[in-house]
Amino acid sequence: MFCPLSNAAQLDVSVVDDQGSPVKGAVVYLTSSSPLPAVKPGTMADMDQVKKQFKPHILVVQKGTQVRFPNSDSIQHHVYSFSPAKPFELQLYKDHHPDPLMFDQQGQVELGCNVHDWMLGYIMVVDTPYFAQANAQGLATFDVPPGRYTLHLRHPRIQDDPKSLDLPLLLDDHTAHTFSLQEPLLPGLDEFEEQTDEFSGYE
C-alpha cells in the first residue's frame, strides 16, 4: 500500500451488491496514463495458512512484490496455482517456509491446496501503488496525488462486466463514488467450518 501524501486528493469508494449490502474485501485501485511509482525493491507480503484457510482470503499486492507463504497450521499444506498470472507449486511443507515468490504479472491469481480441496484464496496483482480494500461497511478510502485516473473494482465473486466497473475520474480534492453492482455475487467459498479429512494428520 502507499503512504499518506501531502496536498493529496481523498477518494472514498463504497461498494454494495445488488441487494444494497456492503461487499467486504472488494478491491479498488487507480491507474493512470501517466507513469506511477514502481514498487520499492524488496517489498514483501504474506499469504498465511490458518485453520486450513488462506489468510487473508484476498491479498492485494503491487506488481513486483514478493509474497511469502508461511504455514501457521500444525499440519502440512501443498499450495498451488494454475492462474496465467502466476502458475506455481509449493509441495508439502509445514515447519519450513518456502522462499518468497515474485509476482510480476498483473492479474488475479487463484490459490488452492492439494491436500485440503476446500481451501481457496486469491492474490490480486495490480500495476499501481494506489489500491485499497473495502472494509466491513463496504468502504475503501485512500489518498492520491491530484490528477486524472481510472478507478477499477475487482472481486472474485463479482459477475458484472469488468468494463462497467472501470470509471474515469478527475481527482483534485475530496471525491466519493459508489459502485452498485447489478448482478448477484457468486456463492462465497471462503467461510467453511474447519473440516477434518484423511489427510488432516499429515505431519
Residue 121: CB atoms within 10 Å? 25
pLDDT digits (tens, 9 = 90+) for 161-193: 999 999 999 999 999 999 999 999 999 864 444
pLDDT band, residue 121 (cuts 50/70/90): very high
Judge whether 85 and 105 are in contact, CB under 8 Å. yes
pLDDT digits (tens, 9 = 90+) for 4-52: 555 799 999 999 999 999 999 999 999 999 999 999 999 999 999 999 9
Q: How far apart are CA 29 and CA 128, in angstroms?
A: 7
Identify the structural domains of the chain with CATH numbers, from first to last: 8-36+132-189 (2.60.40.1120), 38-127 (2.60.40.420)
Q: How far apart are CA 31 and CA 148, in angstroms?
A: 9
Question: Is the predicted pLDDT of residue 67 greater than 90, yes or no?
Answer: yes
Region 70-96: mean pLDDT is 96
Cell of residue 181, nine digits: 453492482
